[in-house]
Chain A
Amino acid sequence: MFKSLRESVVVRIIVKSLLLLLLINYAFILIMNVPIGKLSLYNHLFTGRERFPFGENPQASYNLSIYNLDAMIASHQIAAVPKADDEYRVFVVGDSSVWGYLQPPEKTLASMLDLKKLRCNGKTVRVYNLGYPSLSIVKDLMIIDRIKAYAPDLIIWMVTLESLPIDLQTATPLVANNAIALNHLISAYGLDIPRLNVDNRKFSLIGRRRELADLIRLQFYGLMWSATGIDQEYPTEYNPAQCDFEEDYSFHDFKNNELDTARLAINVIEKAIESNDDLDFVVINEPILVSNGVNSDIRYNYYYPRWAYDQYRAWMESEMERAGIDYYDLWNLVPEKHFTNSAIHLDYTGEEILTERISSVLEDTCKK
C-alpha cells in the first residue's frame, strides 16, 4: 500500500504543493518593502473614508483596525482629493478624540471645521481628519511623515500628556506593527525612542497572512461604507467617563509627585516641526474632562492626577515657547458634561465648542 502511495500521483501533488508553498512563503519576504497596501478600491470604486480605518467590531462598524500605513492612507479621501489652487489645506492629527470616537464622520472636529468654510489668505480652508485612536506622539509623527506628501498648508496637532511617556510610545499597535517605519523615523528625525527589532520571519507569506486578510477585508467593507456612510459602531448606551475617584495620586510609575520630563517624548514634537520647516504647525493641548466628583481635588480625571497634569501644562507652555512653536492650551475649554465615555472624548456640543475655538486659532494663524 505504502509503496504504491510513494509512486502515486496524490503523493507527488502533495510534495510539490508543499515545496511550492515553502518557496512562495519565503519568497514573499523579498517584497516586504513593496507597498501592497497602496492597491485599493477606495477612491476608485468606493468612496474614500473621511477618517482612518479603525474598528473593533467590523460587522457593525463596516470598519476595522489595520496597521498597514499605505492601506490606511489609500483608503482615506486624502489620497485622491486634488488640491485646488484656492485651497488652504489643513490636517488635524491626534488621538481618538480627533478621530471622533462615538461621533459620526460629519460631526468630528475636522468635519465641523471644514463645514465652516473658513477663508485663509484668500483661499478656502479645507480640513481633513487624520487622527487615529491611540495615545502615542510617535504614532502621530508616523502619520504626519506619510501624509505630508498630500500638500498640507497647516497641521493642527492635538496632544495630551497621556500620549507623551516614552515607555508607551511603541506599545500602541500601529507603532508596534510598523517596526521598519519606526526605526526609519528614529533615524530621520533623531528621536530618543527605543528602536524595535525587525523580525524578517514576520514578513513571510504566512507571517503576513493576517495583514493580507485585513487588507482584503478593508476593501469589502469599503462597499458597506459607501453604501451606508457608517464607519463606526454607535452603541445606544455606554459607560460615561469616570468622575468619582479613589484617593489616588498615581500617574504611571512617576514617583514623588514629580513629573520627570526626561521620560516624556516632547522632543518628538520639536523634531517633527524642526524637520518639516516647510509646513506650518499648530500644537494644541486638547481639552480634558475636569471632574467635580469625589476626590476631584486629587485627580482631574481617570488619566491625570492634578499634580502631574499641572506640571505638564507649565512645562509644555515653556517648552513650546522656547522652541517657537504655535501652541494653545485648551485643556479646560469643554465643560465636564460634554464628555462621553472617556476623559478626552467629546459629545456633539463639546465638538462645537472646540470647533469654535479652533476656528479662531485658524484665523489667528492665517493673520501671521
Chain B
Amino acid sequence: MTLTHIAVFIILAIITRLWKQTAVSGWVMMIAGIIFVFWLQPVSSIRSLEFWLPTVLFGIVIICWSIVTPPEIIHKPENKWSVLAAGFVILLISGLRYTGIQWISKFVNPPAIWQVLIYGALVACLAFAIIKASEGRKYYAIGVVTTLLIIFSLLKYQPAALEISRIWRQLNGQSTKIAGAFEFTWVGYSYFAFRLLHVLREWQQGRQSMANFKDFILYITFFPSFTAGPIDRLEHFQKELATRNSREINEDFLEGGKRIGRGLLLKFILADSLAMIAINPASATQVTHSGWLWVMVYAYAFRLYFDFSGYTDIAIGISRLMGIRLPENFNRPYLAENVTVFWNRWHMTLTQWFRTYYFNPVTRFLRSREKALPAAGIILFTQLSTMILIALWHGISLNFVLWGVWNGIGLFIHNRWAEWQKDRAKQSDNTSNRDFPSTVRKFASIFATFNFIALGWIWFAIPDFSTSLRVFAQLFGGQ
C-alpha cells in the first residue's frame, strides 16, 4: 500500500461511514473493493498478468462461496444481483482496453474481452455444477484447498515462480530470456488464501457459512487488510459488517484516525528510516565492526515490527472509519518475557490461524493415538512443525526453514524450562524465595527474549546460509 492507496481508502471509508443507508454503502464497499484489488496489483512486465491474477482470485471466491453456502442462501435474489454486479465490474475493467484512455488501462493492462467472457463462462459452469452437486461439494472443497496450497507453493518457491514467468511469457509470445521470479507477484494472495482456507476448513468441520455473496466477497477482499492482514474470521467480520453503523460516528473516526496516524508514523517514518540501516544481504558482507553489526540487526528487528504493525494499524484504522473493528495483530511483542509470549503477541491472527488449523488438531491427533508419543516429543514435533510451516509461508528456502527451526526450538526450550520451573516451585516450600528480585528478572527475560528473536531475524533477512553464518560469527567476535 502506498500513501496514495491509503489516502483513497480513507476517503472511501469516510464516505461509506457517512452514508447512513447500509445497503447502499455495502454495494459501494463491494464494488470499490473489487476495483481496489485490481489497483493494488503491481504493473507486471508479463502482459495482462495484473488483470488475470485478481480475475482468477474472484473466480476462486465464487467457487468457494458456492461450496460453503447452503442452497437456500445461494438462491436468494440479492445474491444473484451481487454476483452479476461483481462480474459486470470485472467486465467493465477489462473493457478499459477499448476506451483508448492509456493512463487508466495501463493500471490493469486487460486482455481481449472475449478471453474474459470465456473465463467467466467457465467459472459460472463450475459454480453451477457445485451448487447442483450437494454431496460432491466436499470433493470440490478438497480440490480448492489443494489448488490454493499449490498456487501458494508456486508463488513462494522462487525457481517455480521463475518457471511460471517463463511459461506465461511463452503463452503471450513474449521473450522468455528476461523472465524473472519476481514478475510473478500476486499481491494479497497469502491473506486471501488464509481467509478462504479458514472458510473451507470451517465448512469441512460442519460449520455452515450463512454469508451472502456481498459479505463473502467483502470479507475475502476487504481492501484495508487485503495486502497485510490482519486475518479476521468470517463470523466476526459479518457481525462487524452488520453493526457497523451502530456506534457513535465520532468514536469511530477518533479511534480510526488515531490508529491511522500511529500506523503512518510507524510505517512511513520509523520503519522506512530504520530500513536505511537495517541489515540486508548486501550490507551484511560489508560491515567491518561487530558493534555496528549489532546495531544493524537491532534496526532490522525494529524495522520489521514498525513496518508490519504500522500497516496493521493503518488497516485497523481505515476499517474503523467504516465502523468495522478488525482483530489486533500485535501487542508489544518485544516486551515479551519469553518466546512463547512473544509468539502470542506477534502477528497474532496468523499464529491463531495456525493454532486452530494445524497445531491443535495435530496435537489432539498425536495425543489420541494408541501408542502416543511422550508429551515432550509431541510438543517438540508440533511446535517445530508449526514454526516451520509459518516460516514456509514467508518463502520456501533453507534460511526460512532455519528461522522456523530457530523459533520452534526456542518455544520448545521455553516450554520445558517453564515445566521445570513449575515442578521446582511445587517441590520448594518457599516459592517466593528467588535468587533475583522480580524486576531484574523481568528485564533480563525481556532482554534475552528480544535478543533471541532479533538474532533469529538474521535467517529471515539474509537469503543464504553461509552469509548468515558469517554474520553470526562476526556478531560474536569471529571473522
On A, residues with C-beta under 8 Å from B are 1, 4-5, 8-10, 13, 58-60, 216-217, 220-221, 223-224, 226-230
Kindly list chain A residues whose C-beta atoms are within 8 Å of the C-beta of B20.
Answer: 1
CA distance A97 to B276 in the complex (A): 28
A216 touches which one: B250, B273, B293 (CB < 8 A)? B273
Kindly list chain B residues whose C-beta atoms are within 8 Å of the C-beta of A58.
Answer: 276
CA distance A230 to B295 in the complex (A): 17
CA distance A228 to B250 in the complex (A): 51
Kindly list chain B residues whose C-beta atoms are within 8 Å of the C-beta of A224.
Answer: 276-277, 283
The answer to whether B292 touches A8 (Cβ under 8 A) is no
The answer to whether B296 touches A10 (Cβ under 8 A) is no
Contact with A along B247-260 (1 / 0, CB 8 A): 00110011001000
Kindly list chain B residues whose C-beta atoms are within 8 Å of the C-beta of A5.
Answer: 249
- What residue in chain B is nearest A60 (Cβ atoms)? B282
Kindly list chain A residues whose C-beta atoms are within 8 Å of the C-beta of B249.
Answer: 4-5, 8
B286 within 8 A of A: yes
On B, residues with C-beta under 8 Å from A are 18, 20, 249-250, 253-254, 257, 273, 276-277, 282-283, 286-289, 292-293, 295-296
16 CB < 8 A contacts A-B: A8-B249, A8-B253, A10-B250, A10-B253, A60-B282, A220-B273, A221-B276, A221-B277, A224-B283, A226-B289, A226-B292, A227-B283, A227-B287, A227-B295, A227-B296, A228-B283
Kindly list chain B residues whose C-beta atoms are within 8 Å of the C-beta of A60.
Answer: 282
Kindly list chain B residues whose C-beta atoms are within 8 Å of the C-beta of A227.
Answer: 283, 286-289, 292-293, 295-296
B interface: dominant SS: helix
- For residue A171, give the distance in angstroms from its CB to the closest CB of chain B: 30
The answer to whether B250 touches A8 (Cβ under 8 A) is yes
The number of residue pairs between A and B whose CB atoms lie closer than 8 Å in the complex comes to: 50
> Could you say which of A217, A223, A227 has the most chain B C-beta atoms within 10 Å of its C-beta?
A227
CA distance A220 to B292 in the complex (A): 12
The answer to whether B276 touches A228 (Cβ under 8 A) is no
CA distance A220 to B288 in the complex (A): 17
- What residue in chain A is nearest B14 (Cβ atoms)? A10
- For residue B22, give the distance in angstroms from its CB to the closest CB of chain A: 14
- For residue B256, give the distance in angstroms from its CB to the closest CB of chain A: 9
- For residue A230, give the distance in angstroms from its CB to the closest CB of chain B: 6
CA distance A58 to B249 in the complex (A): 44
- For residue A115, give the distance in angstroms from its CB to the closest CB of chain B: 19
- For residue B192, give the distance in angstroms from its CB to the closest CB of chain A: 30
Kindly list chain B residues whose C-beta atoms are within 8 Å of the C-beta of A9.
Answer: 250, 254
- What residue in chain A is nearest B285 (Cβ atoms)? A228
Kindly list chain A residues whose C-beta atoms are within 8 Å of the C-beta of B254.
Answer: 9-10, 13
The answer to whether A229 touches B18 (Cβ under 8 A) is no
Kindly list chain B residues whose C-beta atoms are within 8 Å of the C-beta of A59.
Answer: 276
- What residue in chain B is nearest A227 (Cβ atoms)? B292
Kindly list chain B residues whose C-beta atoms are within 8 Å of the C-beta of A13.
Answer: 254, 257
CA distance A59 to B275 in the complex (A): 9
- For residue B59, give the distance in angstroms from its CB to the closest CB of chain A: 39
CA distance A221 to B292 in the complex (A): 12
